[in-house]
Amino acid sequence: MDVDSLLSNSCRRDWQTVEPAEIEPVRFAVIGLGWFTTGRALPALEQSEMCEPTVLVSSSAEKAERMAAETDGAAHGITYEEFHDGAASEAYDAVYIVTPNALHLEYVETAAALGKDVLCEKPMERDSERAVELRETAVDADVELMIAYRMHTEPTVRRARELVANGYIGDPMSVTGSMSQRLLDRIDPDPNQWRLDEALAGGGALFDIGIYPLNTARFLLEADPVAVTGNVSSTHDAFDEVDETVAFSAEFPQEVYAQCYASHNARQSSGLTVTGTEGQVRIEPAFFQDRTRKLHVSRGDGRATIAVERVDQMLEEFDYFADRVRGAESVYPDGDHGVVDMRAMEAVYEAAESGRWVSLE
Amino acid sequence: MDVDSLLSNSCRRDWQTVEPAEIEPVRFAVIGLGWFTTGRALPALEQSEMCEPTVLVSSSAEKAERMAAETDGAAHGITYEEFHDGAASEAYDAVYIVTPNALHLEYVETAAALGKDVLCEKPMERDSERAVELRETAVDADVELMIAYRMHTEPTVRRARELVANGYIGDPMSVTGSMSQRLLDRIDPDPNQWRLDEALAGGGALFDIGIYPLNTARFLLEADPVAVTGNVSSTHDAFDEVDETVAFSAEFPQEVYAQCYASHNARQSSGLTVTGTEGQVRIEPAFFQDRTRKLHVSRGDGRATIAVERVDQMLEEFDYFADRVRGAESVYPDGDHGVVDMRAMEAVYEAAESGRWVSLE
């Protein structure tokens, strides 16, 4: 593994096991029609050869039907209540859940009862207890469950992971990661949105965006944290229930430390760096979809910055899910994987309360 | 303040108060003739218009005399014992102390007794108690004391500090900083060197290089930490007395958190990032003298990378010291300033033992 081999075909789908033309597309019921669904998820599903957005589910029948009429491949627009009642269940194979965190479990329960596979947005739920229940619900019904960590199929992240796994940077020694944005600028004029509501979200900046550096560190190190500490803070009144900003540290095996930062009130910025005994890989910008990712690698006297072609991250994620549902390989970011983040994030909040390191073992 | 004004004359000495031609150069006794002195300090002193290296002090009379003969402006090569006895004291106005940390105090005591001003390498001493004694010694003798934080006169750092102070990034929200190198590769074949000796060094990676992101964060924020936590680790036998690697977090006022990392066993790397509500400044590479620093700034939709002309950091530092000794302005990184770092670093070690946050208030 060297930079040359990384440059050639950097966006290859090394995870792919089935040929798109040889499978039946996975037909999705898309649950929750907010800006992320309309702006990111539906365009990717329309474009995919391996997936189809056949059913759209919203609180409003009118909105669901209107959007179904506007979406290629969508034949049904139904309400949440109709979904729970099994409406149009012959028209989809899987559900994509992109509702407020605290509602994930109820949609998984219905999907599992209907025998549908599940792609569930991260974080899994509003707390680890419900996340475990969600996982068990899928296991008991023997349906696939994937948590939607789109960084796992982001080519830049996968190439960085290969470099680390192949010893390009020697032994990993530390990780630095961050993600920030001005949430209030984005959601204005909707200050009552669910991300600010502790009962619906479970957490603030940590749950919403801190999960990116946390989970991507796990993915790059192929390891899970053994202890965490951290601090949360809020300066704006809108963040009276959930954290506006979080700074946390996670200890991984072999005394590798990840130091992470996330804020809903700092300029948009994201990056992830793994420093090893022999070299360093850095992805920056790292997490926002609208920016071309750059991979900065260095070893010995050399350093290079590689702009990896921008892919549609949602398309990669949906196609990976379809590959795993239709093929024989199992899902990497499964329920167990998601629960690890939930427990780690809750431990960060616990550490922020106690001023201590909290063990995860 | 914008990027254009930053680009014009980026290396200006905004700290300068006296004209070099109008002052008598400050004549230095340089105490400790290791690689840093010969490779970095003496060339800068030879080049300076405001300083002169008139006396060289070493454990070996032969080495001191030989190097004095090879150094422009040096008239005396004396031993440590001769220095303490006041030898050649008419030939210098100030001392530059670049010995193992635990020896700083004794040279300051002699310098103070002789009425000489002091430029003392960082960290101040091996522990905060001795650092306080060092500070009091200089205060009691009414001599100038400056701790040798060369980042304070590094143009890239000063320009970044101006951007922060002038609100370019909005309110600072977080700092990320790191410095790493392979110490054992550098010091081979001298595994017994003082940096690995707890009694002489006081600490390992934290004291030697972790102090760079810590102190530079303080300098950029113009604030001091109120609490710290951290972890230390060592994987190599050579680091059985001091920390090979440290990961620490520092809380600053207004809930600004700095997350820092330093390792003596990771690839050479250094960087410092301040993220604010409106923008971000990042210096990378940041701390090593042999690399051209780059200043990465972003705000709104814009971002720019500025390669700041490389200056001789030691020359800037020596000339700043001479400016303050000869002029009316006081030294910024004085004894009080240095003691803050000593206490913060000791608190990181305490936190690493206890697994808690340690308050500095």
User: What pLDDT digit, counting tens, does each position of A180-196 carry?
Assistant: 998 887 765 465 688 99
The third-level CATH classification (topology) of the domain covering A155-310+334-359 is Dihydrodipicolinate Reductase; domain 2 (3.30.360)
Element (H, E) at B341: helix B335-354
Return the domain boundaries, chain B: 12-149, 155-310+334-359
- Distance from B357 to chain A by nearest Cα, in Å? 5
Least confident of A71-80, B98-107, B179-188: B179-188
- Distance from B205 to chain A by nearest Cα, in Å? 13
Give dist(CA A251, CA A149) in Å, integer.
Answer: 21
User: Residue B262 — very low, low, confident or very high, per pLDDT cuts 50/70/90?
Assistant: very high
Whether B292 shows a pLDDT value over 90: the answer reads no
Q: Which residues contact B123 (CB under 8 A, 6 or more apart)?
A: B101, B131, B202, B203, B207, B211, B338, B341, B342, B345
Contacts of B233 in chain A (CB under 8 A): 255, 257
ipTM at complex level: 0.76
Residue B233 near chain A (CB below 8 Å): yes
Whether A205 shows a pLDDT value over 70: the answer reads yes
Least confident of A62-76, A81-95, B153-167, B177-191: B177-191
Whether B5 shows a pLDDT value over 80: the answer reads no
Stretch B327-331: mean pLDDT, rounded? 97
Q: Which residue of B has its CA nearest to A354?
A: B356
Stretch A85-104: mean pLDDT, rounded? 98
Q: Average per-residue pLDDT in chain A?
A: 93
User: Residue A275 — very low, low, confident or very high, per pLDDT cuts 50/70/90?
Assistant: very high
Stretch A33-51: mean pLDDT, rounded? 95
- Distance from A4 to chain B by nearest Cα, in Å? 21
Binary contact (B235, A255; C-beta < 8 A): yes
Residue B270 near chain A (CB below 8 Å): no
3-state secondary structure of B245: strand
Do A12-149 and A155-310+334-359 come out as alike in CATH topology? no
Contacts of B275 in chain A (CB under 8 A): 178, 180, 261, 263, 266-267, 269
Stretch A119-129: mean pLDDT, rounded? 98
- Distance from B342 to chain A by nearest Cα, in Å? 22
A/B interface, count of CB pairs below 8 Å = 127
Q: Average per-residue pLDDT in chain B?
A: 93
Residue A180 near chain B (CB below 8 Å): yes
- Distance from B207 to chain A by nearest Cα, in Å? 18
Stretch A227-236: mean pLDDT, rounded? 91
Binary contact (B247, A259; C-beta < 8 A): yes
- B34-79, pLDDT tens digit by residue? 989 999 999 999 999 999 999 999 999 999 999 999 999 999 999 9
Choosing among A178, A235, A265, A275, which should be mutated to test the B contact, i.e. which has the most B CBs within 10 A?
A: A275
Choosing among B174, B181, B252, B356, which should be mutated to test the A contact, i.e. which has the most A CBs within 10 A?
A: B174
pLDDT at B154 (0 to 100): 95
- Neighbouring CB atoms inside 10 A of A114's CB total 17
Whether A5 shows a pLDDT value over 80: the answer reads no
- Which residue type occupies B150? R
pLDDT at B344 (0 to 100): 98
- A209-220, pLDDT tens digit by residue? 999 999 999 999
Whether A86 shows a pLDDT value over 80: the answer reads yes
Whether B281 shows a pLDDT value over 60: the answer reads yes
Nearest-by-Cβ selection for A275 from B180, B249, B279: B180
Q: Which residue of B has its CA nearest to A169?
A: B267
> How big is the CA angle at B286 (ends B281 and B290), to the nearest 5 degrees?
150
pLDDT at B187 (0 to 100): 66
Whether B1 shows a pLDDT value over 60: the answer reads no
Burial profile B67-98: b = 16 or more Cβ within 10 angstroms, e = fewer: bbeebebbbbbbbbebbbeebbbebbbbbbbb
Looking at per-residue confidence, does A185 or B334 come out higher? B334
Binary contact (B298, A233; C-beta < 8 A): no
- A318-347, pLDDT tens digit by residue? 999 999 999 999 999 999 999 999 999 999
Whether B310 shows a pLDDT value over 90: the answer reads no
Residue A359 near chain B (CB below 8 Å): no
Whether A8 shows a pLDDT value over 80: the answer reads no
Binary contact (A275, B263; C-beta < 8 A): yes
User: Residue B209 — very low, low, confident or very high, per pLDDT cuts 50/70/90?
Assistant: very high
Residue A296 near chain B (CB below 8 Å): no
User: Residue B192 — very low, low, confident or very high, per pLDDT cuts 50/70/90?
Assistant: low
CATH superfamily of domain region B12-149: NAD(P)-binding Rossmann-like Domain (3.40.50.720)
- Distance from A187 to chain B by nearest Cα, in Å? 16
- B112-144, pLDDT tens digit by residue? 999 999 999 999 999 999 999 999 999 999 999
